[in-house]
Amino acid sequence: MDQKITTLAALTQHYRPQIEAELTRILDHESTEQTLQQSLRYSLLAGGKRIRPLLTLATLLTCDETITEERLQASVAVEMIHTYSLIHDDLPAMDDSDYRRGKLASHKQFGEAQAILTGDGLLTDAFSVLATSGLPANQIIELVDRLALAAGSRGMVAGQVIDMEATGLQLSLVELQDLDRKKTGALFHYSVLAGAIMANVTENQRQHLADFAGKFGLAFQIYDDLMDEQAGTDEDEGKNSYAHLLGRNQAQQVLQETIAEGESALDAVPHADLLRSFLTYFKG
């Protein structure tokens, strides 16, 4: 069955329900404190696309590995980190967004204090999910190290601080790329790397997968900026974005180039149709 999955759509259809089930199972073992349990559930089961765990699973399948229970559990830790980052991003002191995924943001639904704590809880619990996954010890340790590095003050958190400081200023293209590599790219990079770590691939193979992850992350951000510009969100607040910096047409062109580079990065990876299909995400 697994061998036949060669598209993001098929992967999503088969594995998203398993990811949802895994997140639900994890939540059942989380806090017995009722309102906290409620707010964890509210944000974590809000129906995201689960693109990060899907990237991990796709990398495993690309390396001809099976999706065991241990690997499925480990794959969702990054989704918990992603969800915490959205909750904290939406806070009044940060992006001050009232809505997320068509529902009230956590702080509008549960109040600011509980939203901060819910984010803190998800962030912390993600490491528990890795530690108790039952994977080989060396893999757990590398996953913990890489996830903390991607999400922490050398990764996503640094990207957020740079983004905040740059609001209202005009970044150069190089600066914007550095910002995005940290702010959104680091978790995508981790997601692919997590699959490579669990598949125990060669250093050479890992490098090709990392290159793909970097291009995927960059394409994701440009695409996201273009969507936001279309919807008319980010620009008012002086947020830096590719659409803003390059103009719509040139941003579109850089996106197409980045997609092509992502495809090239996979040339040296056998049976990479499934990972390649992730790039079609940006073509619609």
Residues 6+ away with beta carbon under 8 Å from 266: 208, 212, 272, 275, 276
Q: What is the rounded CA–CA span in Å between residue 168 and residue 116? A: 26
Whole-number minimum distance, CB 195 to its own copies, in Å?
A: 19
User: Quick count: other Cβ atoms within 10 Å of Cβ 167?
Assistant: 12
Task: Name the site residues for its own copies (rule: CB under 8 A).
Answer: 30-33, 35-36, 40, 84, 88, 91, 93-94, 111-114, 116-128, 130-132, 137-138, 140-142, 144-145, 147-149, 151-154, 157-158, 160-162, 164-165
Cβ 135 to its own copies shortest distance, Å: 10
Q: Which is nearer to its own copies, 142 or 261 (CB)?
A: 142
- Residue 46 or 148: which CB sits closer to its own copies? 148
Pick 75 or 160: Cβ nearer its own copies: 160
The minimum distance between CB 217 and its own copies, in angstroms, equals 18
Residue 103 belongs to what H/E stretch? Answer: strand 103-104
Angle in degrees, CA 189, 255, 202, rounded to 5:
30
∠ CA 211-213-217 to the nearest 5 degrees? 120
Nearer to its own copies, 64 or 96 (CB): 96
Nearer to its own copies, 49 or 154 (CB): 154
Distance CA 280, CA 283 (A): 5
- Shortest distance (Å) from residue 4 CB to its own copies: 35
Shortest distance, position 273 Cβ to its own copies, whole Å: 34
Tally of CB atoms within 10 A around 139 = 19
